[in-house]
Structure 1
Amino acid sequence: MPNTAGSRLSGRRLDLVVAVILLSDTLVSGAAKAVSDEGLPWYGWPLLAIGPLVFPLWRRYPRAVLLVTVGALIASGHLGVGPLAAVPALVAIAVATYRGHRKLTVGLVLFVSTVTMLANWSSAGFQLTGEVLEQSMLVIGWLHVALISGESRRQRDAYMAEAEHTREEAVKRKAADERVRIARELHDSLTHSISVIRVQAGVALHLARKRGEEPPPALVAVEEAAKDATRELRETLTMLRDDEGHRLSRVKPLADRYRGLGFTIDVECEVDDTAVLDEEVDHAAYRIVQEALTNAVRHSAGDRVRVRVRRGDDALVIDVADNGRARDFTPGRGLTGMRERVDALGGTLTVDNGAVGPGEYGFTVTARLPLPEPAAVPIPAQVGAEPGSQR
């Protein structure tokens, strides 16, 4: 049977130790029979040894080990070597049941029980005596004990795995609730302060325009930054509160908010609420699209943005391009944040600021996020960029 966490022996070492013990039991039985008056035929030794010798293969071939061991037990039954010779078969029945091969194991147990009963009945001249019942029930009982032992251990391990999963889910829920609480506190405090800044800047702009004066660019920038910060805080709190559905399914509503700023945004997203997608990949992909759109609106000199989210067999590919002409730029906090998200998931990030012609897209952010299965080897993000303005 599989070892416990605190055992010093594990895996193949444990299997070899068990095989040695089983082989010792069978050889002792064979030796006792060999020195008796009846003796032990030459073929009895291979029959007694084959079960213990194949036992170390049970992890890879549990059914084959079960069939060989039980077959050896049946073949050696007429030798009369004693109950120790049946121990390898009992262990094989238990481990096969533990591995989930219940139909095969139950069938073999019933078959061996029937053969044992018939053999004892036949040896007694087909007279159903108390001795026949006692000998038969002893073997049948041990067979069922092995079967029940394997099943009970399997049920116990399944229960422990489910309990561990439940505990992890409870920890995750508690952490999520704590994040929501912190986000709510930050939202309430920061939004109030930012709202005051926004109102004061708005009043100053209104008074300046009312007097026919050109508002200072710094004041306009303060008001816009306050608006963006307020929107980001509210969106972050909303996303933390609402865990239903994929965040990537909200890409189109996200793009709608930027269309009002004079940009034509073309969105194609292959992920919806019905798709099976890893939560971390989903979250990172949404944030990459959001940051790339923000960069395009703030820094691009163009008027069109293209968003593509494609799902392949092993990776999710995000492609955001605009028709601006950012020939020289320096990666700022936006691109740095995208790169960190991609690196954390073992993906790649490529930024291309190639020249564009009429109707073409130039500045392009492409992120490739590997899906959990199959696991991907982390690859450093690549940012093909030249120094200049920040994005």
Structure 2
Amino acid sequence: MTTPPGTRLTGRRLDLVVAAVMLADTLLSGAFAAAGSGVPLYAWPLLAAGPAVFPLWRRHPRAVMLVNVAALVAIGHLHLGPLSAIPALVAVAVCMYAGHRRLTIATVLFLSTFTFLGNWQTAGFQLTGNVMEQSMLVIGWLHVALISGESRRQRDAYMAEAEHTREEAVKRKAADERVRIARELHDSLTHSISVIRVQAGVALHLARKRGEEPAPALVAVEEAAKDATRELRETLTMLRDDDGHRLSRVTDLIDRYRGLGFDIEIACVIDDHAEVGQEADHAAYRIVQEALTNAVRHSGGDRVRVHVARTEEVLIVEVADNGDPAGVVPGRGLTGMRERVDALGGALHVGPGEYGFTVRAEIPDSTLSDSALSNSAPSDSAPPVPAQAAQTATAEAAR
């Protein structure tokens, strides 16, 4: 699950604040020691090294911990007080939180042994009560940091799993509701429309058989019944087969609009190496479908342009026609598109554009950024530029 950009920014600021506090603590411990027995010059960079690298822990937790531990070991013989050990304790906790358990446990065992041996050597290799007290104090705080990082990691993992389970339950409930609605529509409305269509067709057939001119109203009833049957079938397909409508089938969608007097141009620029999330993929397909339907029925133009692209974390869908934007009245289709985009945290623009009446949707999709991160190197190098494949198809036919 990807952390929202605002949360990441807040996390970076918090890291800087924590690093500043730890830097003040370590420098303060050095100042106290300098006021007493003095501190060698090489100790000051070592005191500042740990807090200085701490803001990098989210990407390099192991390196941050090792730098802090190395700095603590290097100045351990100076006995600068407990404040100088705070950066190492925090680094141990965050490395454990990041999931590097073996390295963190090994580091804690090393520091525990190093602390005991150092205190023992300072006491002339005499196992006194002071040696045990100081050693157990440091070892205890190391284990507190270790346990704190692990408990926080498990808590966050539990919360993420609970959120995932809740989302899956909501999706299953929505799918069950769609199936129930489709079943009710099929059992009631489909039957009634079919009866109307059959009766109108029989009446037209009998009228033509008798050599009479069918009434225009009767012809209109039959045509309306045919249109209603087709639209109802599409609705039932949408409700029952929610996963079948993906951007990979958008060309098939275009083919269905042939014969309506429109030139439909589609340019789809999609990364071949990273998959689009199911929700964003389905929403993009539905937006293209609804926008094409509106263009064919209401635009008054004769050309439609469909463009699908992507950025690092956003799927962009744009459908524009050369009709008159002023004549468009918002209806259920546009409302449904806006609700679909809002549900995913995206943005929808509907109105005049450079080409004509334009529907532009920006749909967030964490799958895009996750795929880029998984394909990047362990270093902080930028993710590889996605390979872009452009597909252009033109569907043109006379009405």
How far off its partner does 1:140 sit? 4.2
Distance of aligned partners of 1:269 and 1:61 in 2 relative to their CA distance in 1, 3 Å threshold: closer
Match of 2:291 in 1: 288
Q: Are the aligned partners of 2:26 and 2:48 in contact in 1 as well (CA < 8 Å)?
A: no
Cα distance in 2 for residues equivalent to 1:49 and 1:352: 58
Cα distance in 2 for residues equivalent to 1:328 and 1:134: 80
How far off its partner does 1:174 sit? 0.7
**Structure 1 counterpart of 2:362, one-letter code:** P
Cα distance in 2 for residues equivalent to 1:291 and 1:116: 74
How far off its partner does 1:248 sit? 4.3
Q: How many residues are paired up?
A: 337
**Structure 2 counterpart of 1:313, one-letter code:** R
3-state SS of 2:188 partner: helix
Q: Which has the larger radius of gyration?
A: 1
1:213 to 2:212 alignment: yes
Q: Are the aligned partners of 1:191 and 1:230 in contact in 2 as well (CA < 8 Å)?
A: yes
**Structure 2 counterpart of 1:43, one-letter code:** V
TM-score normalised by L of structure 1: 0.62
3-state SS of 1:346 partner: strand
1:90 to 2:96 alignment: no
Match of 2:236 in 1: 237
Unpaired stretches in structure 2, ≥5 consecutive residues: 1-10, 342-346, 367-399
3-state SS of 1:91 partner: helix
Query: Within 5 A, what are the aligned runs for 1:305-344?
Result: 309-314=306-311, 315-318=316-319, 330-331=327-328, 337-338=333-334, 341=337
Q: Are the aligned partners of 2:298 and 2:328 in contact in 1 as well (CA < 8 Å)?
A: no
Distance of aligned partners of 1:193 and 1:87 in 2 relative to their CA distance in 1, 3 Å threshold: same
Cα distance in 2 for residues equivalent to 1:328 and 1:163: 46
**Structure 2 counterpart of 1:316, one-letter code:** V
Distance of aligned partners of 1:342 and 1:108 in 2 relative to their CA distance in 1, 3 Å threshold: same
The one-character-per-residue Cα deviations of 1:367-391 (angstroms, maximum 9, x if unpaired) are 44334269xxxxxxxxxxxxxxxxx
Cα distance in 2 for residues equivalent to 1:161 and 1:194: 47
Of Structure 1 and Structure 2, which has the larger fraction of its residues in helix? 2
Cα distance in 1 for residues equivalent to 2:267 and 2:362: 17
1:369 to 2:361 alignment: yes
1:276 to 2:279 alignment: no
Q: Are the aligned partners of 1:55 and 1:65 in contact in 2 as well (CA < 8 Å)?
A: no
Distance of aligned partners of 1:252 and 1:118 in 2 relative to their CA distance in 1, 3 Å threshold: same
Distance of aligned partners of 1:109 and 1:250 in 2 relative to their CA distance in 1, 3 Å threshold: same
Distance of aligned partners of 1:224 and 1:171 in 2 relative to their CA distance in 1, 3 Å threshold: same
Q: Are the aligned partners of 1:351 and 1:366 in contact in 2 as well (CA < 8 Å)?
A: yes
Cα distance in 2 for residues equivalent to 1:271 and 1:222: 43
Query: Within 5 A, what are the aligned runs for 1:193-272?
Result: 193-251=192-250, 254=253, 270=268
Q: Are the aligned partners of 1:51 and 1:69 in contact in 2 as well (CA < 8 Å)?
A: no
Aligned CA RMSD, in angstroms, stands at 5.2
Q: Are the aligned partners of 1:48 and 1:85 in contact in 2 as well (CA < 8 Å)?
A: no
Query: Within 5 A, what are the aligned runs for 1:1-391?
Result: 40-43=36-39, 58=54, 66=65, 69-70=68-69, 73-80=72-79, 86-100=85-99, 105=104, 108-109=107-108, 112-113=111-112, 115-120=114-119, 122-123=121-122, 139-140=138-139, 142-251=141-250, 254=253, 270=268, 276=276, 278=280, 279-293=282-296, 309-314=306-311, 315-318=316-319, 330-331=327-328, 337-338=333-334, 341=337, 345-348=347-350, 367-372=359-364
Cα distance in 1 for residues equivalent to 2:13 and 2:354: 52
How far off its partner does 1:330 sit? 4.0
Cα distance in 2 for residues equivalent to 1:12 and 1:365: 43
Cα distance in 1 for residues equivalent to 2:49 and 2:252: 65
Distance of aligned partners of 1:292 and 1:26 in 2 relative to their CA distance in 1, 3 Å threshold: closer
The one-character-per-residue Cα deviations of 1:116-144 (angstroms, maximum 9, x if unpaired) are 3543454466x595877886566445424
**Structure 2 counterpart of 1:208, one-letter code:** A
How far off its partner does 1:237 sit? 1.6
Per chain length, whose mean CA-contact separation is higher, i.e. which structure has more relative contact order (CA < 8 Å, sep 6+)? Answer: 2
